[in-house]
Chains A and B, each alone.
Chain A
């Protein structure tokens, strides 16, 4: 079942006034439950593509469809709601809210969805247990290691049962052992919860686990099914 589809996706931005063609016509279909890795050298357009797929940025040309619905027709407010209900993000730098505890960070999107406090607390604590970090529930990001923070970030990304999780270089700031553990965790979520994962990475550890590898070079894609 098709979850996301792009048609002739192009993105040009200006770097010091000079136009840079980050993406030069991406045609792509990703199905539900897939585990996709977008790989490529630095500056190849991985993050740009991920930002477009995550409705964080708008393409210069082309269209993106999420379950057949065109992104470009949505307002800013609708895109916010869309991200809240359908997407999860895992960032390279974890990007947890420093003044909130682990459980509060996880609960945040549930709060935005209007889920009652008791229910969201129970859900976030259950997820922390599943990710084997229940002891961190009431700790703030500043009191956690990088790996622990990224686990909380994964929990935050999947707590609202998103259809798609976008992970931008999730292991870049982690040592290989912690990175592997985190990838195990996301693989598990992919299999158990049938959540679609799209990674952008040039980390060999991530690329090796890809069930589908999209190689980006000079703004164009080379789809290599594993």
Chain B
């Protein structure tokens, strides 16, 4: 009967209960929207960084990440390749030459990351092929180069133009070669587009005097969440001459950024929760003050303070839980079109691109988000009702029953 009484008390002032109910729904939707946006943004940042260049795992000669000298090629990559091939957790891999260099056109020159790639294999480990907006991907023929849109603008070059690449060779001299632009790509990161260029690996090996040596294996695993486990296994298998790094090792700044986003999201959720708590406190206090006489009667007929306290908590919990359930359902439904078609943020495209986020943001909600809200908001509703419930049990029955 306590639940019945609490339930009917909720319907006593429909307008007030409705306002609290709606505010909980709006709060839950706001939380889910923020969660979705942030998750979407974080996933996009991570996905873009992984898919543009980093991949899930990279293997180099020890010390290569700290000192990307062209001489730091892998001493015995064939054996490493055998180990990669036999590992069933690895889906794709590709070999790379990676070095710094200078790219010049007739109009300008700029520093670049020169990437010698295996065109066939590279399309499985990065999205360069699918990012091409003009021209075509590398066919494997000598003298082809793919550059970013921003770099093309900087060098004032177009498709079919010639550019000259310069870089240190393995013997310390300067190697150079002329390339014809066969493709121009555009990725979600403007910084990436300004500096990463791609040539066939054989061209790079010749130009840098590396024979058939390579600098890097880029690996895609079956599940990126298990990248660290696979990394550790590869480390065990390979001797200390190699560094095996997962995307978390390779993108420490991004990982910190993601953690910061999560923390700021927590603060935003906390602010929304506080607003909800005060709304509930206000509403429940009103509800208690309207029922002082009735609470006095309940006390007179022998209802213990604990039950009166519980009754008020049940009222808040019921509204909070109902609002949360409806809020979660509506939040989920609202999220479907956004997560399918994305939110066009092209107004902020420039700043988003510098964070490796595209102009179209796809909100993404996880089960964790729903579970957290389903637990948090009803709890917040109870917290919000604690003070009004305390006020109720502090009433003296003798005064309460005479209250007008």
List chain A positions with a Cβ less than 8 A from chain B: 51, 54, 56-57, 76-77, 80-85, 87, 89, 91, 95, 97-100, 104, 107-109, 111-112, 117, 156
**Cα separation A161 to B1 with both chains bound (whole Å):** 20
Are A56's CB and B397's CB within 8 A? yes
Q: Point out the residues of chain B lying under 8 angstroms from A91, CB to CB.
A: 297, 401
Are A99's CB and B300's CB within 8 A? no
Are A85's CB and B302's CB within 8 A? yes
Are A89's CB and B300's CB within 8 A? yes
When C-beta atoms are compared, the residue in chain A nearest to B10 turns out to be: A99
**B12 interface residue (CB < 8 Å to A):** yes
Given the interface contacts A91-B401, A97-B294, A111-B1, does A80 sit within 8 Å of B8 by beta carbon? no
Are A51's CB and B305's CB within 8 A? no
Are A80's CB and B299's CB within 8 A? yes
Given the interface contacts A56-B398, A108-B1, A111-B1, does A80 sit within 8 Å of B305 by beta carbon? yes
Are A81's CB and B302's CB within 8 A? yes
Query: Which listed residue, A54, A98, A104, A107, touches B300 by the CB 8 Å rule?
Result: A54
Q: Point out the residues of chain B lying under 8 angstroms from A82, CB to CB.
A: 302
A-B pair count, CB < 8 Å, reads 69
Q: Point out the residues of chain B lying under 8 angstroms from A111, CB to CB.
A: 1-2
List chain B positions with a Cβ less than 8 A from chain A: 1-2, 4-5, 8-9, 11-12, 293-294, 297-305, 307, 396-398, 401
Q: From DSSP, what is the main secondary structure of chain A's interface residues?
A: helix
B238 to chain A minimum Cβ distance, whole angstroms, is 71
Query: Which listed residue, B4, B298, B396, touches A104 by the CB 8 Å rule?
Result: B4
Are B302's CB and A112's CB within 8 A? yes
Give me 9 A-to-B residue pairs in the complex whose CB atoms sit less than 8 angstroms apart, sorted by A's number. Answer: A57-B396, A81-B302, A84-B302, A89-B301, A91-B401, A97-B294, A98-B12, A99-B5, A108-B298
Among B2, B5, B301, B304, the most chain A Cβ lie within 10 Å of the Cβ of B301
**Cα separation A87 to B4 with both chains bound (whole Å):** 25
B299 to chain A minimum Cβ distance, whole angstroms, is 7
Q: Point out the residues of chain A lying under 8 angstroms from B297, CB to CB.
A: 89, 91, 95, 97
B396 to chain A minimum Cβ distance, whole angstroms, is 8
Query: Which listed residue, A77, A108, A156, touches B304 by the CB 8 Å rule?
Result: A77
When C-beta atoms are compared, the residue in chain B nearest to A140 turns out to be: B8
Are B304's CB and A80's CB within 8 A? yes
Q: Point out the residues of chain B lying under 8 angstroms from A89, CB to CB.
A: 297, 300-301
**Cα separation A81 to B11 with both chains bound (whole Å):** 29
**Cα separation A108 to B299 with both chains bound (whole Å):** 12
**Cα separation A56 to B9 with both chains bound (whole Å):** 25
Given the interface contacts A56-B398, A57-B398, A112-B307, does A156 sit within 8 Å of B301 by beta carbon? yes
**Cα separation A157 to B8 with both chains bound (whole Å):** 22
